[in-house]
Amino acid sequence: MTDRQQEIVAAAGKLLTMEGVGGLTIKNLAREMQFSESAIYRHFDSKEDILVAMLDYLSEELEQRYERVVSVQRPFEEQLRVLFRSVFTFFDGNPHFAVAVFSDGLMEASDRINQAIFRLIHRMRSRLVPLVREGQHRGAVTSSVSAEDLVHIIMGTIRLQMFRWRSEKFDFDIIQSGDHRIDTLTTLIVKK
Amino acid sequence: MTDRQQEIVAAAGKLLTMEGVGGLTIKNLAREMQFSESAIYRHFDSKEDILVAMLDYLSEELEQRYERVVSVQRPFEEQLRVLFRSVFTFFDGNPHFAVAVFSDGLMEASDRINQAIFRLIHRMRSRLVPLVREGQHRGAVTSSVSAEDLVHIIMGTIRLQMFRWRSEKFDFDIIQSGDHRIDTLTTLIVKK
DNA sequence: TTGAAGTTAGTGAGTATTCACCTTTGCCTC
DNA sequence: GAGGCAAAGGTGAATACTCACTAACTTCAA
């Protein structure tokens, strides 16, 4: 991705988040970039390509953050908190990418976009499950519910929190409130 | 709402769920109804009105199901299961309305639609919180986490399950898998 | 001097909505 | 009961507008 492509992807995320799926048009994107509509097509072949690039960039970004976190050994509870704090910090600095987490609106638009969304979700899940499972093996996490089911609950809780954050126009602290969500989750699943 | 209006609202839900926000056009709606585009306007003033009617109808439907469930006294765990089974049964019979639960895609389209979505979400939450709180007072539910926070986790978990159900084109049993989600949740929050 | 990155000025298709008009239905009056 | 008549619910055609995308032209730095 060139610098210009990065800028366009960022502008697309911003539009998507601020004005919804309907707001992401080539016209609006061009206005945001301060140049003509046709100039967009110097950098991307289609609108679809822009969205796929956006989702893949986001996926890569989150993956890197995951890698950085799990490279350090920590107790489960702390590991989970550090991981999600890293995610929340990213979205705090890039709220316009928040849309991709609850990208329901994008779905069904095209198969390629759908697949990009699934890659993103699957990537997060397949990272989280071993983490939780290891916590269970070490006896830190309850084994009364399977690791997959615990991850479902965690992801659902976080997704809903992100949804609220966007609904309320990002005007509460996502890092702090996200921490709180992780707190309540660990209270329920971490053995004392 | 007249019968015709009901039919249109149902067709709109179907389109929305099957083809996404972009698929809900007056043209497609008219095709679904097997009559002309202009005929739609005999029954609704605008497309916006159709969406608001759809969300309000759904809100009313879920409210009624709630009333029916809580009118009978039951242990908390059972009450929660019966309540959500009722909800899942509704969506099982009306999968085209599933879209409204994760109606992110509709948001930002118009203020009136936004408000209708918030009414729906708020209504569910404000019903669930007292139920959980009562469970806490009776000592059936853990008090280590506030009722509001527990409801957030429950709603997030269920929302994500609905999202998966739609993603996978409704081809698994939402009643059964929904039951399982409630099971895992009660395992975590109900005191033994 | 070539190629990348911008421009203007279009394209056809699709959008929600409105228009004048037609048909069916049920009701009121003679 | 026949005749008029308005309302309800349908039609196709046209509205003004937006959509993603393209062709041809310019600018400018390597």
Q: Kindly report the nearest CA distance between residue A106 and chain B, in angstroms.
A: 7
* Distance, CA of B50 to C1' of C18, in Å: 18
Q: What does the pLDDT read at residue B132?
A: 97
Measure CB to CB from residue A163 to each of B21, B104, B181 and give the nearest one: B104
Q: How far apart, in whole angstroms, are the C-alpha atoms of residue A157 and residue B156? A: 5
The more confident residue out of B192 and B171 is B171
CB distance A153 to B153 below 8 Å: yes
The helix (H) or strand (E) run that includes residue B108 is none
B82 contacts B69 by C-beta, under 8 angstroms: yes
Domain boundaries, chain A: 55-189
Helix (H/G/I), strand (E/B), else coil: A66: helix
Question: Would you call B102 and A106 a contact, using CB atoms and an 8 Å cutoff?
Answer: no
Give the nucleotide at minimum CA-to-C1' distance from A41: D21
Give the number of A-B residue pairs with CB atoms closer than 8 Å. Answer: 105
Q: How many H-runs (helices) and E-runs (strands) does chain A carry?
A: 8, 0
Strand D proximity: list residues 13-32 of A with CB under 7 Å.
Answer: 24-28
Structural domain B52-189, CATH architecture? Orthogonal Bundle (1.10)
Task: Print pLDDT tens along chain A (192 aa).
Answer: 889 999 999 999 988 888 888 888 999 999 999 988 999 999 999 999 999 999 999 899 999 999 999 999 999 999 999 999 999 999 999 888 887 666 666 766 788 888 888 888 899 999 999 999 999 999 999 999 999 999 999 999 999 999 899 888 899 999 999 999 999 999 999 987
Angle, CA of A189, B159 and B161, to the nearest 5°: 75
φ, ψ of residue B190 in degrees (nearest 5): -90, 130
What is the CB neighbour count within 10 angstroms for residue A115?
12
Cα dihedral B152, B155, B161, B165 sign? negative
Tokens of A163: 């949804």
Query: In this predicted structure, what is the pLDDT of residue A99?
Result: 75
Residues 6+ apart with CB under 8 A from B94: B10, B13
The CATH class, in words, for A55-189 is mainly alpha
For residue B93, pLDDT beyond 90:
yes
B58/chain A closest Cα distance in angstroms? 19
* pLDDT > 90: percent of chain B: 72
Residue A187 neighbours by CB under 8 Å, 6+ apart: B144, B145
3-state DSSP assignment of residue B190: strand
Distance from the Cα of B123 to chain A's closest Cα (Å) equals 15
Contacts of B152 in chain A (CB under 8 A): 157, 160-161, 181, 184
Chain B residues touching residue A181 (CB < 8 angstroms): 149, 152
